[in-house]
Amino acid sequence: MDDKFMLMIPGPTPVPESVLLAQAQHLIGHRSGEFSQLMGTVADGLKWLHQTQNEVLMLTASGTGAMEAGIINVLSVGDRVLVGSNGKFGDRWVKVCQAFGLTVDVIETEWGKPLNPNEFQAALTADTDKTIKAVLVTHSETSTGVLNDLKAIADHTCAHGALMLVDAVTSLGACNVPVDEWGLDVVASGSQKGYMVPPGLGFVTLSDRAWQAYETANIPKFYFDLGPYRKSAAKNMTPFTPPVSLFFALQVALKMMQEEGLEQIFTRHAKLQTATRAAMRALNLPLFAADAAASPAVTAVMPQGVAAEQIRQIMRQEYNIALAGGQDHLKGQIFRLGHLGFVSDRDILTAIAALEATLAKLGANGFTPGAGLAAAQAALSA
């Protein structure tokens, strides 16, 4: 029964039927008045979602492409940057910075633990010559289910004067990311996460300070040169052919989000997160991240006595539910349950019910059937 398939991974996330079907419309030319109108509506929605007055630029690229664009448009070869890394994506931004000839200081923390804002403060305070040009942080580290304390790190960065560059790929649309209020200079994200849209569109927004830095940034670029995107965006156009069908989808998804409301979206994600974590605890499944540092987008679980990959396999084969596995050295060690985007209470109850049945099938010890569901239910109705 293929059509029973259910995605519970942190991206691509489930897409509402109306959004899926929007893609099936006949295409329109991207140099037409119709497209400009569509792009204008979408641009407004994106500003709302980002809580910003800045233009949010739309790229035909994944979230990684959007983040790379943000980095190479505000920095120059040799610039010193401070990169927080406590997971696969933090590691990735280190690699991107190195690939483009930046001088990279890494503030590293064990995977599963949050970055320590005090370490950023110390490094920034010590930099009295102001040689650090930018600080890069992954807000929600998808590989571990950790939410870093972006606000605190942004405050220290602001006090220093460096640019604050943020990977908000799995935090935007899941929890509060007030771009202007927190003084975030570059914020990158991707359509297949909180947006409830299929993958293929990347987003990046730059503050006025970031645009000032753009003027002198010298890393070679063309496709990802954001100047032409900004210029085109003023006319609700894109410099290169945009993924038109994904724009159709995005328009519908943003409208749904606006109807739900930002606060409601954040509350829903927080509730789904709490319920998921309560259920895991009740099932005696160790959570990989501590409560205080848990991401509202994804929960990572490190089961003991039963293999993570076996759980994923049974969930997939018997119950048609896809969970994500661990990445890099966490491969086989954890499974990750996504509760990001178009996810409801029912989805969490469904996933927990199937997880209990899976544990029973695997003969896992130390859990009472029904305990996970009861805990999730209690959390959802709290």
**Closer to a copy of itself by Cβ: residue 73 or 377:** 73
Cβ of residue 113: shortest distance to a copy of itself, in angstroms?
24
**Closer to a copy of itself by Cβ: residue 130 or 331:** 331
Cβ of residue 380: shortest distance to a copy of itself, in angstroms?
24
Among 37, 40, 53, 95, binds a copy of itself (CB under 8 A): 95
Cβ of residue 261: shortest distance to a copy of itself, in angstroms?
25
> Could you tell me which stretch among 92-100, 110-118, 272-280, 361-369 binds a copy of itself (CB under 8 A)?
92-100
Q: How far apart are CA 207 and CA 184, in angstroms?
A: 7
Cβ of residue 185: shortest distance to a copy of itself, in angstroms?
20
Do 188 and 195 meet the contact criterion of CB atoms below 8 Å apart?
no
Closest CA to 192 of 167, 173, 166: 173
Q: Which of residues 137-156 bind a copy of itself (CB under 8 A)?
A: none
* Cα four-point dihedral sign 102, 103, 107, 108: positive
Kindly state whether residue 96 participates in binding a copy of itself, applying the rule CB under 8 A.
Answer: yes
Which residues pair with residue 335 across a beta bridge? Answer: 301, 325
Closest CA to 318 of 12, 7, 15, 5: 5
Kindly state whether residue 173 participates in binding a copy of itself, applying the rule CB under 8 A.
Answer: no
Structure tokens given for 237: 């156009």
Kindly state whether residue 32 participates in binding a copy of itself, applying the rule CB under 8 A.
Answer: yes
55 CB neighbour count, 10 Å cutoff: 19
Among 110, 129, 215, 220, binds a copy of itself (CB under 8 A): 220
24 CB neighbour count, 10 Å cutoff: 9
**Closer to a copy of itself by Cβ: residue 74 or 282:** 74
Among 46, 57, 61, 330, binds a copy of itself (CB under 8 A): 61
Kindly state whether residue 90 participates in binding a copy of itself, applying the rule CB under 8 A.
Answer: no
Q: How far apart are CA 83 and CA 105, in angstroms?
A: 6
Kindly state whether residue 37 participates in binding a copy of itself, applying the rule CB under 8 A.
Answer: no
> Could you tell me which stretch among 13-21, 81-89, 257-265, 348-356 binds a copy of itself (CB under 8 A)?
13-21
Q: How far apart are CA 234 and CA 250, in angstroms?
A: 19
* CA atoms within 13 A of residue 197's CA, in its CB half-sphere: 31
Q: Which residue intervals of the chain are DSSP H helices?
A: 17-22, 33-50, 63-74, 88-99, 117-126, 150-160, 208-216, 226-233, 244-260, 262-282, 308-319, 345-361, 371-380
Among 170, 189, 192, 273, binds a copy of itself (CB under 8 A): 192
Closest CA to 57 of 249, 232, 180, 179: 232
The footprint of a copy of itself on this chain (CB under 8 A) covers a number of residues equal to 55
> Could you tell me which stretch among 10-18, 143-151, 179-187, 263-271 binds a copy of itself (CB under 8 A)?
10-18
Contacts to a copy of itself by CB under 8 A: 3, 5, 7, 9, 11-12, 14-15, 20-21, 23-32, 60-65, 68, 95-96, 99-101, 190, 192, 198-200, 202, 219-225, 240-246, 322, 324-325
